[in-house]
Amino acid sequence: MALPDAASRLMESAAEAESQGNVREALIRYEAAIKVAPEEPLTHLRLGVLCHRLRDYRRAQQVLARAARLAPEDAEVAFWEGRAQDALGDREAAMAAYRRTMTLAPAGWQTWFLIGREHRQLGHADVARVAYRRALAEAPDQAEVLYDLGSLLWEMDKRAEAFPYLERAARVCPADAGILVQLALALAERREFAAAKDRLTAAKRLDPGDRRIDQAISELARRQRSGRRRRKAA
């Protein structure tokens, strides 16, 4: 996926803005890159992935469908198209995209991630953990893998082991509200309330309409009040 120089510069600046959590600027720059290079699948892929992380699943699906038409043999495009279809509830289309992903990249991180997620849904936590680790071996900084492994370990009550994965996921992908909320909950468990509040505030900016974030903010405030009462009583 070689890009023209102008599009490449826009993509680099968009990725930098995204890494800093400046999603508005990232969206503008990815869209500008598409205008400069409308036939390059990478421009559509990166915009589609960001839209997915921002939970704008309908737009993500539309953009990623365009990427898939431009690059039908690209495993990452197929994977993200499947994720968007999955989020929209079109399980049949999602499964078709996932099968294509696994055919195109049988040893890729995407395939191991899908294997891990399937076993997690089946309740095979230990098998899922192995698969996620195989995915990380292929892509050590892939936020989705870091998050899924961290949240799985959290559910398995391996919280000390889970925390570094959740922390890394939020560091490499500050544009995903779900990742930030999970990290905030982990921080609250460690009684790092100020850091937890910062993550929840950032998540609220990314997804103002998510009531679960409001509930997490309320729960954090309750825990802070409870902690202060205990300290006074002591």
Q: Are residues 163 and 183 in the same domain?
A: no
Please state the pTM of the whole predicted model: 0.90
Q: Which helix (H) or strand (E) holds 204?
A: helix 193-206
- Summarize the confidence of residues 171-183 as an average pLDDT: 95
Report, as an integer, the average pLDDT of 57-86: 97
Report the chain's mean pLDDT, rounded to a whole number.
94
Q: Does 70 share its domain with 85?
A: yes
Range 161-179 average pLDDT: 96
Domains contained in the chain, number: 3
223 has a pLDDT exceeding 80: yes
Note the pLDDT tens digit of each residue in 32-53. 999 999 999 999 999 999 999 9
Distance CA 22, CA 223 (A): 30
Is the same domain home to 197 and 232? Answer: yes
Residue 95 has pLDDT above 80, yes or no: yes
Q: What dihedral do alpha carbons 47, 48, 53, 58 form, nearest 10°?
A: 130
Distances (CA, A) of 98 to 45, 125, 217: 16, 21, 35
Shared domain check, 4 and 97:
yes
Across the range 86-112, mean pLDDT stands at 97
Q: Which domain holds residue 209?
A: 176-234
One domain, residues 7 and 84: yes
Q: Are residues 158 and 222 in the same domain?
A: no
- Percent of the chain's residues with pLDDT above 90: 90
Q: What is the mean pLDDT of residues 11-15?
A: 96
- Quickly list DSSP for 31-77: HHHHHH-TT-HHHHHHHHHHHHHTT-HHHHHHHHHHHHHH-TT-HHH
What is the predicted pLDDT for the residue at 204? 95
Query: What is the per-residue pLDDT for 3?
Result: 80
pLDDT at 93: 97
User: Does residue 192 share a domain with residue 94?
Assistant: no
Residues 115 and 193 in one domain: no
